[in-house]
Amino acid sequence: MSRIGKKEIQLPSGVDLQISKDNLVTVKGPKGSLHQAVDPDISIAVEDGSVVVKRPTEQKRHKALHGLYRSLLNNMIVGVSEGYKKELELVGVGYKASAQGNVLELNLGYSHNIFLSIPEEISLKTETPKGKNPLVTLEGIDKQLIGQIAAKIKSLRKVEPYKGKGIRFAGEVVRRKAGKTASK
């Protein structure tokens, strides 16, 4: 049995969940609204201020979809009520980040600057505290989209294990390797 799928999702006040005939779930809240198409085999019901996801059989496919759609719905509900935030840290000499509207300009030690267009659903903020590494902050209601954009930014300069230079999530611990040792 799916432990995640069996859990009920509590609807916070101000969040409205609607299910259409073609299994399209719409979640509206104070921060916005999100849509998700659900497999026709999975049934979703709102009972006493909580959302219940049920599956018809014990097939492996139904078990997998049960937990998947419960997690997706929970992420949507948390997104429209609280929102999501990811912080990226640029570690390296001369690494800079600046934002003009929804365009992120990164200077990552290459011979050119990198310009990355960020979707309008995500708010972008950059800051460079004195004596610390530059930070890029992504905020929005769609957890999947924020994670995808953060992974794209992170892939522009992967963290190398010897000096620890590159783009990492704030608070991420990078395993360091020892360098070469001098011979006799």
Question: What domains sit in the chain, N to C, each tagged with a CATH number?
Answer: 3-81 (3.90.930.12), 84-169 (3.90.930.12)
Q: How do residues 30-53 score in pLDDT, each as one tens digit?
A: 999 999 999 999 999 998 889 999
> How confident is the model over 120-136, as a mean pLDDT?
93
The pLDDT of residue 1 is: 45
Q: How many CB atoms lie within 10 A of CB 135?
A: 16
- pTM above the 0.75 mark? yes
Q: How do residues 83-127 score in pLDDT, each as one tens digit?
A: 999 999 999 998 999 999 999 999 999 999 999 999 999 999 999
- Cβ atoms 15, 81 nearer than 8 A: yes
Sign of the dihedral defined by the CA atoms of residues 5, 122, 29, 18, in that order = negative
Residue 69 has pLDDT above 60, yes or no: yes
